[in-house]
Chain A
Amino acid sequence: MQEVKEQTARNRILSRLRRSANEPIAFEESYERMQGVEWNDADRVTEFCLQLEKSHAEVHRVPANDWVATVKKILVEKQVRSALLPPGTPLGIELKNALVADISIVHYPDSYAEFKPQLFDDINAAVTGARWGIAETGTLVLWPDAEEPRTMSLVPPLHVVVLDAKQIVNTLFSLMTDEKWAEQGMPSNALLISGPSKTADIQQTLAYGAHGPCELVAIVRE
């Protein structure tokens, strides 16, 4: 019954729209403007870090062989007791080995519903990777999956993201087109994250830690 009703609504809406005398316009815009600045490798990383810091994130540029020690130092300094890690990625495995003596390591169980209370109340931090970084806006691009579910970058108050400097691109537009997002199909959830969660809903005063992480730390491996 409901389906029939919705089908009728659908057909009526579409036929009303079709009765207008629109001339269809073909795709012809120039997207040159969206290509943005072409940075060289060093400047691109610098720009990325600068922009992300402007969004109130803490950014660390570290040599590739030193990142585990940096993450460990940050988690210990911020007094993290329990951290969510991806169980099976190289990042997760390396970190686990380094942290297990100091911090309680949690992996996402299969039953999300039962995990929710612990996720919201007990976990202090999550460490994830990022697929790409966008220099123009200082943005981290995450494609959550079974290893790094969506809520890892959302619910714990501290989110630490590890990104390889070579994954930093100029603009969102160049990323979408170079990586052929539309052609290859989108993941269930793609996220652009630029800084910790924030709000200015009370008298234009900026406050961090609205609903998502209060702190965002980015580790750029060079």
Chain B
Amino acid sequence: MTVSVEQLSERHFSQRARIALDNQQLRENLRGATDWLRTNRRASFGDDESIETLRDLGHSIRRRVLSRLPELLETLEANLTRNGIQVHWAEDGDQANAIVHGLLAARNAKTVVKGKSMVTEEIELNQYLEKRGIECIESDMGEYIIQLADETPSHIIVPAVHKNKQEIARLFHEKIEGVDYTEDVDELIGIGRRELRKKLATADAGISGVNFAVAETGTLCLVENEGNGRMCTTVPDIHIAVTGIEKVAEKLTDVVPLLALLTRSATGQDITTYFNMISSPRKEGEKDGPSEVHLVLLDNGRSSIYRHPVMQPTLNCIRCGACMNHCPVYARIGGHAYGSTYPGPIGQIVTPQLRGLDRGGELLNACSLNGACGEVCPVRIPIPNIIRALRHEAVSKKPATDAEPGVRGRGSQRHTMEALIWKGWQWGHQWPFLYRSGSWLATRLRGLMPKRMGAWTQVRSTPVLAGQTLHELVAKKRGQDAGS
């Protein structure tokens, strides 16, 4: 019996990665998609200087906002409330889910249409609501496809990136009544449009995420191409937006460079089809739009990330996905292998912090520290440095204190044997006598080296030691040079 990726728990990262690597179709799909996204990004930014200036600006805006986050959250709340948008606060996923459910239940809402939102994936809102008899329909085409397939998104921007059109054609044919098999993309999108419009027109409520929440004006901004985000926030009578507490912009003008960075980094577009700025529910005299708008502000571990000076830049993220598109590991294993809502490099630093290093620490191994993610990040998150710092936290023996709480699950990836080996390594390099005799012994006993060395030799040939140490070889060479 073959095991599917979905059956493995979040802790089985290496098995998941192995399954993904063995799937030739998946690898072709991923390669095609990441190459396409990278080419588009590069083309849209123009020359290096303009990329760098814009990145500097994006970085300094996010840093400024985070430096005053509590104050800006209060301003945001005050301005949203003044505009008629109701603000709710949730410390974790359960609280956020309960708030959303409470709002829906009080209005007897039975069907909900959803715009693409990673934060509601993070808190598993759909599952929570479905259990309580509320139907949730994902309306982004990619999200709709994976909902039909009963899967989770494998990329934060292009959720169905792991599927090719043949797979989607089969899925539509099998799951949607009266649909013949067709590989024509226009036809497939037409089918999705027709099916979803029925739902969008009649749903009781709409749920969306938020790209930027502007404190200065009390405005929720959504970035999209399809128009489903506008549908979800416009057509049903109630709109509930859910967002992490970090997604605040101080000033309205802050969104201009952030938007330019987001769309170019994500898909290589100068701008998306729609930029939707919502500042209030339907006003007296207006004829459409929801009569109620709610915003749920979610913490779910973000305030702990915030308190850690090295980790704080994690919260700069504007969720563009450029780091995954440029990551050699992501491009080969895809999003599902990570077993977390946020895959790729950003997922590697977000997930272990949100779940704790004991539950997400293994993800930190999926990195060669090549640094590509840090180089493309539009808001200059030093992802490789944070990965290194998290690896250190994961094996650290330092106790957590209130002044220096560290990352949850600190020390959980520490293994006695590994620690001993590194201790030996440290001594060996501190004492010349130990180093010389150790390396002399190793070269002389090289015949005893095992042919199979566990994970290392699974995909590599066994390294062969030289017959003499480097020091010996150099000394010999010098002797020859002096003699000649």
Contact = CB atoms under 8 A, between A and B. Distances in A.
Given A33-B54, A154-B234, A182-B251, A5 B95 contact: yes
Nearest to A33: B53
Interface in A1-60: 2, 5-7, 9-10, 12-14, 16-31, 33-34, 51, 55
A190 B277 contact: yes
B91 A9 contact: yes
Contacts of B33: 203-204
B64 A146 contact: no
Interface string A197-222: 11111111101011111000000000
B133 interface: no
A46 to B, nearest CB: 17
A25 B289 contact: no
A192 B64 contact: no
A149 B234 CA distance: 10
Interface stretch (B139-147, B383-391, B452-460, B473-481): B139-147
A16 B307 contact: yes
A203 B288 contact: no
A34 B90 CA distance: 35
Given A33-B57, A34-B257, A202-B188, A189 B141 contact: no
Interface string A78-92: 000000000000000
A196 B288 contact: no
A144 B274 CA distance: 14
Interface string B279-298: 11111011111000000010
A131 interface: no
A173 B253 contact: yes
B160 interface: yes
A205 B169 CA distance: 14
A210 B193 contact: yes
A66 interface: no
A21 B185 contact: no
A104 interface: no
Given A19-B307, A199-B225, A207-B186, A120 B230 contact: no
Interface string A117-147: 1011000000000000000110100001110
Given A2-B99, A150-B234, A203-B165, A177 B253 contact: yes
A51 to B, nearest CB: 8
Interface string B202-242: 10000000000000111100000111101100110100000
A203 B32 contact: yes
A14 to B, nearest CB: 5
Interface in B63-92: 63-64, 66-71, 73-74, 88-91
**Which 9 A/B pairs are nearest by Cβ-Cβ distance?**
A212-B227, A210-B226, A201-B142, A192-B275, A197-B227, A10-B89, A16-B303, A211-B227, A201-B141
24 contacts: A2-B99, A13-B91, A13-B297, A22-B69, A25-B64, A33-B50, A108-B288, A120-B201, A144-B286, A149-B289, A155-B235, A173-B253, A173-B256, A176-B256, A186-B279, A189-B279, A190-B279, A193-B273, A202-B188, A207-B186, A209-B193, A210-B141, A210-B228, A212-B231
Interface of A: 2, 5-7, 9-10, 12-14, 16-31, 33-34, 51, 55, 108-110, 112-113, 116-117, 119-120, 136-137, 139, 144-146, 149-151, 154-155, 171-173, 176-177, 181-182, 185-205, 207, 209-213
Interface of B: 29, 32-33, 36, 50, 53-54, 57, 60-61, 63-64, 66-71, 73-74, 88-91, 95, 99, 102, 139-142, 145, 158-160, 163-165, 168, 185-186, 188-190, 192-193, 196-197, 200-202, 216-219, 225-228, 230-231, 234-235, 237, 245, 250-253, 256-257, 259-260, 267, 270-283, 285-289, 297, 299, 303-304, 306-307, 309, 312
